[in-house]
Structure formats: C-alpha cells, structure tokens
C-alpha cells in the first residue's frame, strides 16, 4: 500500500503554528481537485498572492509545494518544501513530501536525507521509515534498509508490505537466519488474511550481468502444476522470461516433487534438474544464476 513515488496528501500543518484559514481552505480545495490542472493553477496563484504578504508563513510554502508537486513541477515543489523547513525546522510533513518528490525522480540519496529527517522529527511515521528503507535499498545500502524496515515493523508489526521488504533486505545481506524468520512472519500475516489478494511475494532481488532478477515465492502450491519459486528475468525493465522451481501432483507421485524449469519466448521447458526435497535457497540461487547466464 506504500509506494515510494506516490505523492501523499499531507494536511497536517506545521506543529505549533496556526495555519491561516485562507491557506488551509486553498489547500483543501486543491486536494479535492488534485486531478484538475485548472484548479491547481488557480490554487497556486492564490498561494503566491498570499505569500507576497506572508512570506514567512511555513504553511503557505508547504501548501505551495504540494500544489506544485501535483502540477508536475518537482524542482519548484522541493524548493517550497525546503523553504517551509527553513521557517519551521520540525515541519515533518514538509520533510516527508520533499523525500517523496525526490523519490519520484529516482534521486534516492536526496530522498533519504528527507525521509530520515521526517522520521527523526516524527519517530512514529511508519511511511517515512518504510520509504527511507526503500531508498537505501535502491542504492544497495542494505544494512540501513534493513534497519529502517525493522523500525517500521516495530511500529506496525502487522504491516504486510513492511514484512515482505525485510525478507528482501536480509537476503541481500546474506543473513539467511534472519531472512527465514522474516519469511515466517510474512507467511503468518498471509494466513491471518493480512496479505490482501497477494498470491506470492518478492523475497529477493539480484543482478546477473545487466539482467535484473526478481525472486518470488508462491503462497499456494496445491495446484496440479505450481511454482514454488519464480525468478523473473528482466532487462531495461522488460521481462525476458523466468526460471521456476515447480511442483505438481505427477512429480510428487514419482518421488521427485521439485523440478527446475524455464519459461521463455512463450514456451515452457524442464531443465532436467529434479529434487527429492525442497532445496535451500542458498543452494538453489547459484543454479538459477547459471541457467540465466546460459539461457538469457
């Protein structure tokens, strides 16, 4: 439910500062018509007029940042949020939204600064911790990613999205014991109905040369043919195919319940590798990497 690039509507004005009725009403109207460019431009004009006489009002700059972000003017939005922070250094919503806009531009290092600032100001802000973790993960700083996601989980122990991310972070760090515990948490939340309509979850990501791989585990292997693990191979955002660890009623009866297979170019082929017991992920991953090197 959280997305790094989603500009969240934040209506909590600067703590300890009384938001002027005019500023609040302008922003309220803008948020109610966030898809209407004409309304947003009119709102921006009103805020600009307000700030001519109230240039030291942090709420006015914050509201202006929100409107500019929704008009697709990220640099100006960030400048407005930063101005609000200069005027009120503990304006957590301004810090958070600056991070969101930076994240939307894939400027993860800059986003980290503002998500961490928002989290420091408001240590109960789960979204700030979650998005800081994602930004750290994007730059391959997996230790800080795990720390932020662990902090988010402490605040929201039943949050399915956070639980999934922790599995990814621990796999990236090579901490298989912690990854296994985090996976158990994901499965428990799923069984409690907290996974929504999820059928699987990405538990690891890694690169094989220029190809990026998303490793997913299914929640249901009861069908006639179902994958246990699926490794989606992508290049420049385009899916090339997948390598799968499969199970089916037929192979279970044959005593080799797990098979390695591949989907590519619309065809499905077994790779001649069978397992009598579920292979450990740390053993399976190198095999999958070799298949990807040879076949993709």
pLDDT tens track for 242-256? 999 999 877 777 788
Beta-carbon count within 10 A of 55 CB: 11
Q: Using 50, 70 and 90 to split pLDDT, how confident is the model at 21?
A: low
Domain assignment present for 275:
yes
| Claim to verify: residue 106 and residue 227 sit in the same structural domain | no
- What's the average model confidence in pLDDT over 151-174? 97
| Claim to verify: residue 251 and residue 284 sit in the same structural domain | yes
The sheet that has 225-235: what strands, in order across it?
A: 200-208, 211-218, 225-235, 238-248, 258-264, 267-275
d(CA 96, CA 116): 8
Domain boundary among 150, 180, 210: 180
Domain boundary among 180, 212, 227: 180
What's the domain range around 120? 21-180
* Predicted local confidence at residue 26, as pLDDT: 93
| Claim to verify: residue 57 and residue 203 sit in the same structural domain | no
Query: Which CATH number does the domain housing residue 163 bear?
Result: 1.25.40.10
**Residue 105, φ and ψ in degrees, nearest 5:** -95, 5
Domain assignment present for 12:
no
| Claim to verify: residue 215 and residue 176 sit in the same structural domain | no
| Claim to verify: residue 146 and residue 94 sit in the same structural domain | yes
| Claim to verify: residue 71 and residue 128 sit in the same structural domain | yes
| Claim to verify: residue 161 and residue 239 sit in the same structural domain | no
| Claim to verify: residue 236 and residue 168 sit in the same structural domain | no
Please choose, from the candidates 128, 216, 127, 120, the residue with its C-alpha nearest in 3D space to the C-alpha of residue 171: 216
- pLDDT at residue 217 above 80? yes
If one counts the domains in the chain, the total is 2
| Claim to verify: residue 174 and residue 210 sit in the same structural domain | no
Domain assignment present for 62:
yes
- pLDDT at residue 14 above 90? no
Question: Which pTM does this prediction carry?
Answer: 0.89
| Claim to verify: residue 155 and residue 286 sit in the same structural domain | no
Give me the chain's average pLDDT, please.
91
SS3 per residue for 40-84: HHHHHHHHHHHHHHCCCCHHHHHHHHHHHHHCCCHHHHHHHHHHH
3-state secondary structure of 102: helix
Domain assignment present for 15:
no
Please choose, from the candidates 13, 190, 202, the residue with its C-alpha nearest in 3D space to the C-alpha of residue 90: 13
Q: What is the pLDDT of residues 46-86, one digit of tens each?
A: 999 999 999 999 999 999 999 999 999 999 999 999 999 99
Domain assignment present for 186:
no
Domain assignment present for 6:
no
């Amino acid at each position: 439910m959280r997305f790094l690039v989603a500009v969240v509507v934040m209506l909590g004005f600067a703590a300890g500062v009384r938001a002027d009725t005019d500023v609040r009403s302008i922003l309220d109207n803008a948020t109610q018509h966030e898809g209407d460019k004409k309304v947003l431009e009119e709102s921006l004009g009103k805020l600009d007029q307000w700030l001519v006489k109230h240039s030291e009002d942090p709420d006015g700059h914050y509201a202006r940042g929100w409107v500019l972000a929704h008009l697709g003017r990220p640099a100006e939005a960030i400048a407005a949020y930063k101005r609000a922070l200069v005027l009120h250094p503990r304006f957590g919503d301004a810090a958070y939204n600056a991070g969101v806009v930076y994240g939307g531009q894939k400027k993860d290092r800059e986003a980290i600064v503002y998500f961490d600032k928002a989290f420091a100001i408001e240590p109960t802000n789960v979204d700030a911790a979650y998005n800081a973790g994602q930004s750290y993960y994007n730059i391959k700083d997996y230790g800080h990613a795990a720390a932020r996601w662990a902090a988010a989980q402490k605040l929201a122990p039943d949050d399915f999205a956070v639980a999934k991310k922790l599995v990814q972070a621990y796999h990236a760090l090579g901490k298989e014991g912690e990854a296994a515990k985090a996976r158990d948490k994901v499965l428990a939340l799923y069984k409690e109905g907290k996974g929504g309509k999820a059928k699987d979850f990405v538990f690891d990501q890694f690169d094989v040369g220029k190809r990026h791989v998303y490793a997913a585990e299914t929640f249901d292997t009861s069908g006639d043919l179902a994958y246990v693990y699926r490794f989606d191979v992508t290049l420049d955002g385009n899916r090339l195919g997948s390598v799968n660890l499969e199970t089916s009623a037929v192979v279970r009866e044959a005593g080799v319940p797990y098979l390695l297979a591949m989907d590519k170019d619309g065809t499905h082929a077994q790779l001649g590798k069978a397992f009598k017991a579920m292979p450990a992920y740390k053993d399976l991953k190198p095999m999958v990497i070799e298949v990807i090197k040879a076949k993709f």
